[in-house]
Amino acid sequence: MLESLEGKQGKPRFKPPFPANYGLYGKPTTINNTQSLASVPAIIRNGAAWFAALGPEGSGGTALFSVSGHVEKPGNYELPMGIPFKDLLNDVCGGVLGGRKLKAVIPGGSSCKVLPADIIMDCTMDYTSLQQAGSSFGTGAVVVMDETTCMVKVLRRISRFYMAESCGQCTPCREGTGWLYRMLTRIIDGKGEEADLHKLVDVANKIEGHTICALGDAAAWPVQSFLKHFHDEFAYMIRNHGRSIVDAATDAAA
């Protein structure tokens, strides 16, 4: 954002120096996400203790939960941090679409690690609980997926996004995101090999932690977690030349 305001290409800066010391045109600059800045007036009026008490320890206040995917009532909901996921799903969003079975959830936006249903149903929507479960709160953008979801196709769609959004400044991200997308496309096209599963994780590991900004990590974490929790779906598609395990289950049920 600061680079764009200065008329340059919108690429991330090396830090330090941080914007609070050296920001827009070299001047100290306060820059944060809109939700954080919007919380400031209420905290000033009511006090920090009031704000902290709205959520569990370490996750004070409210959050905007942007729920999408296979739910009866998708939408944006401002709720206290720490709400149990099962309450968010069933009481707020009306349950899984069509009464189908929950399969997986991305709890905080596409960059967060996916969690299977049996794990996420025991979580509360706050920083500590989701971190302990192996994911993160992220932006609170909750993506709900039911039993009809092909996890390979979802991951390919996510990987395409990060390949397109990479600014190209860092080699691991610029080249690695393309590798991830092309390998997943090859698997879906029925041309995948067993070695691709190891290679996908290896490429993701080489991107993670090796870029200026967090977009590289955001591209790596979905790959790592999808293959960790749904490895069998990827392996099935490779062995069956692009056929999804979900399609096979649907045909068998019919």
Distance of CA 12 to the CA centre of its chain: 20
**Cβ proximity of 76 and 89 under 8 Å:** no
Higher pLDDT, 11 or 150: 150
* Residues forming a β-bridge with 64: 78
pLDDT band at 252 (very low <50, low <70, confident <90, very high): confident
Q: What is the pLDDT of residue 95?
A: 97
Two tokens at 185?
Answer: 């496309």
Q: What is the mean pLDDT of residues 198-226?
A: 96
Q: What is the mean pLDDT of residues 49-70?
A: 94
pLDDT at 36 over 90: no
pLDDT at 254 over 70: no
Distances in whole angstroms, Cα of residue 105 to Cα of each of 54, 64, 194, 232 = 24, 17, 26, 17
For the stretch 94-149, pLDDT in tens is 999 999 999 999 999 999 999 999 999 999 999 999 999 999 999 999 999 999 99
CATH topology of domain 151-253: de novo design (two linked rop proteins) (1.20.1440)
Q: What is the mean pLDDT of residues 53-74?
A: 95
For the stretch 147-198, pLDDT in tens is 999 999 999 999 999 999 999 999 999 999 999 999 999 999 999 999 999 9
Higher pLDDT, 60 or 162: 162
pLDDT band at 69 (very low <50, low <70, confident <90, very high): very high
Burial 198-233 (b: 16+ CB within 10 A, else e): eebbebbeebbeebebebbbbbbbbbbbbbebbeeb
What residue spans define the domains of the chain? Answer: 1-31, 62-146, 151-253
Positive/negative CA dihedral, 126, 118, 156, 246: negative
246-249: which pairs have CB atoms within 8 A and are 24 or more residues apart?
A: 246/147, 246/148, 246/149, 246/150, 247/150
pLDDT at 231 over 70: yes
Two tokens at 129?
Answer: 């609980």
CATH topology of domain 62-146: Ubiquitin-like (UB roll) (3.10.20)
Q: What is the pLDDT of residue 233?
A: 96
Strand (E) or helix (H) holding 196: helix 195-207
- Whole-number average pLDDT of the chain: 95
* Neighbour tally for 82: CB within 10 Å: 19
Distance CA(162)–CA(218), nearest Å, equals 8
Q: Strand, coil or helix: what is 218? A: helix
Q: What is the mean pLDDT of residues 62-88?
A: 97
pLDDT at 253 over 90: no
Q: Which of 11-20, 26-35, 140-149 has maximum average pLDDT?
A: 140-149
Q: Looking at this protein, which amino acid is placed at residue 196? A: D
Q: What is the pLDDT of residue 14?
A: 86
